Amino acid sequence: MKSLTFFTKTLFRFLATLLALFAAVLLVWMIGVGAIYFREARSPKSPDSLYKAIAKDDPRALSAPLQNTLADEGIWMLVLDDTGKYRTAYGVPASLRHDYKTSEVAKFTRWYLEDHPVFTYVEGENIVVLGYPKDSYGKLASNYFQVEMTFRLLYLLLFIFAFGIFAVFLLYYFSSKKLNAEILPLAKGIEELAQNRPVSLPHGGELNDLKEALNRTSRHLEADKAERRRWIRGISHDIRTPLTVIAANAKSIEDGKDISHAAKTIEESAFRIDKILEGLNLTYFMEQLDAPENPKAIALLPLIRRIAAECIDASDTDFSVEIDDAEDARIMGDENLIDRAVRNLLQNSARHNKAVTVRIAIKETKDAVVLCIADDGTISSADTERLNDDISPRSANGFGIPIVKKILAIHGGTVQFAYGDPGLIARLIFPKPF
């Protein structure tokens, strides 16, 4: 998979960059050490540079500039003959102005002279000793090396470098293997979801939370598909029944049998199909419903009056509405959606009762605005309790109540149903605008 290849390549680039960075740091260190050494070797006060300057002059009679250089840097010079006898000196402490045995010369040539780091040079038949301030130079225990040991050190360096590359390769291999083991199931799971197939990833691993999320998503999608299938079967059955009735009565009309009754039956069946299709539209409407982008202040009382008047005019039953206008309130939201929620409740009361009176009141509390809609219809206490349960938007009946709940939810509110003994009491609770 391309995504998995991407992760593997990214890991490889990271390790390769790490190795290159290490090599670059090592190279910079070597260049830095070489630069420091070269600078020290070229310095006028270094032992070799200073001796070359003295050799061009006369060690037994230094020129004034060289004497000044020695004095400025705190360096002294002692000149002995080839037997160790004192010949001359410049800036040498008094305690060191004497003859030296050959063994003593051999010692301070290798080490120190009274804690002063000294450097000896042979100039003709004389020994020139340059002494530096204490702690200015450190002298090594050995100034020789074995050629064979040098090759061994070179082999060791090459082995360490090769081992480092091998270790990086092992790190890449096992990391890539672990990455593949973790990501490959996720990638396959996402691909299965994209192809609308069920996914069940094994538990465990570093990415277990992502696996669980994919499994939950798959379960939700499968449940949704199953619900869609059940719903389509139900809708198909609901539509097939009135279509069968229409076909039978059309045949009766064709045969000239009881035309009036057959036409009325066809009209009723067509009306039933129309209600089912209306339910389908409402279902789609609910799935597309989202929070209003630009909520506006809505005065509830004028809105309620307008809706009530329109519902009374449209009703062909004994339907009346009483509005308690003692209190008004404002809410924030989409007026069209609020209109639809209230209209659904009023139409439900008119549709399910032959004669009903609806009483509407607005109450304002500290934190909320409550719109109370109560009727004296024939609903039972058990049916009222069921209204408070979650109603599937794809159930064969009850499309209006889920719409009301959805509209209240996207406005940050809730709807509560209670039995009015008789009748239904619906409380639409909106958050109070600030």
Domain ranges of the chain: 101-144, 207-287, 292-431
Supply φ then ψ for residue 291, to 5 degrees: -60, 140
What is the spatial distance between Cα 183 and Cα 199, in angstroms, rounded to a whole number? 15
pLDDT the model gives residue 347: 85
Q: Residue 305: is its pLDDT beyond 60? A: yes
Query: If you search the block for the tokens 């009274």, which residue do you land on?
Result: 114
Query: If you search the block for the tokens 């449209």, which residue do you land on?
Result: 314
Provide the CATH topology of domain 207-287. Answer: Helix Hairpins (1.10.287)
Strand partners of residue 370: 363, 429
What is the spatial distance between Cα 68 and Cα 59, in angstroms, rounded to a whole number? 14
What is the spatial distance between Cα 324 and Cα 311, in angstroms, rounded to a whole number? 17
CATH superfamily of 292-431: Histidine kinase-like ATPase, C-terminal domain (3.30.565.10)
More confident residue, 256 or 141: 256
User: Lowest-confidence range among 130-134, 198-202, 337-341, 421-425?
Assistant: 198-202
Percent of the chain at pLDDT > 70 equals 88
Q: Residue 339: is its pLDDT beyond 50? A: yes
* Cα first-last separation, the chain: 52
Other Cβ atoms less than 10 A from the Cβ of 109: the count is 14
Sign of CA pseudo-dihedral 82, 84, 87, 93? positive
What is the spatial distance between Cα 177 and Cα 17, in angstroms, rounded to a whole number? 19
- Each residue's pLDDT tens digit, 279-297: 666 666 666 666 677 788 9
pLDDT the model gives residue 393: 43
What pTM was estimated for this model as a whole?
0.45
Structure tokens at 89: 């000196």
- Each residue's pLDDT tens digit, 255-282: 777 778 778 888 877 877 776 776 666 6
- Calculate the CA 361 to chain-centre distance: 48
What residue ranges in 36-161 does DSSP mark as E strands?
Answer: 76-81, 86-90, 112-113, 116-123, 126-131
pLDDT (mean) for 204-209:
76
User: Lowest-confidence range among 37-51, 160-174, 269-283?
Assistant: 269-283
Query: If you search the block for the tokens 């009946």, which residue do you land on?
Result: 397
pLDDT the model gives residue 394: 40
What is the spatial distance between Cα 127 and Cα 60, in angstroms, rounded to a whole number? 11
What is the spatial distance between Cα 251 and Cα 244, in angstroms, rounded to a whole number? 11
- Name the helix (H) or strand (E) containing 23: helix 2-42
| Domains 207-287 and 292-431 belong to one CATH topology | no
What is the spatial distance between Cα 291 and Cα 286, in angstroms, rounded to a whole number? 12
Contacting residues for 378 by C-beta, under 8 A, at least 6 apart: 352, 353, 422
What is the spatial distance between Cα 145 and Cα 275, in angstroms, rounded to a whole number? 103
What is the spatial distance between Cα 308 and Cα 346, in angstroms, rounded to a whole number? 8
- Calculate the CA 124 to chain-centre distance: 79
What is the spatial distance between Cα 356 and Cα 350, in angstroms, rounded to a whole number? 7
pLDDT (mean) for 415-426:
91
Contact 427, 415 (CB under 8 A): yes
- Each residue's pLDDT tens digit, 98-124: 888 888 888 888 888 888 888 988 888
Query: If you search the block for the tokens 């299709």, which residue do you land on?
Result: 277
Structure tokens at 103: 């063994």
- Each residue's pLDDT tens digit, 341-385: 898 899 888 888 888 899 999 998 888 999 999 998 888 888 888
Smallest CA-to-CA distance from 401 within 423, 380, 385, 412 is with 385
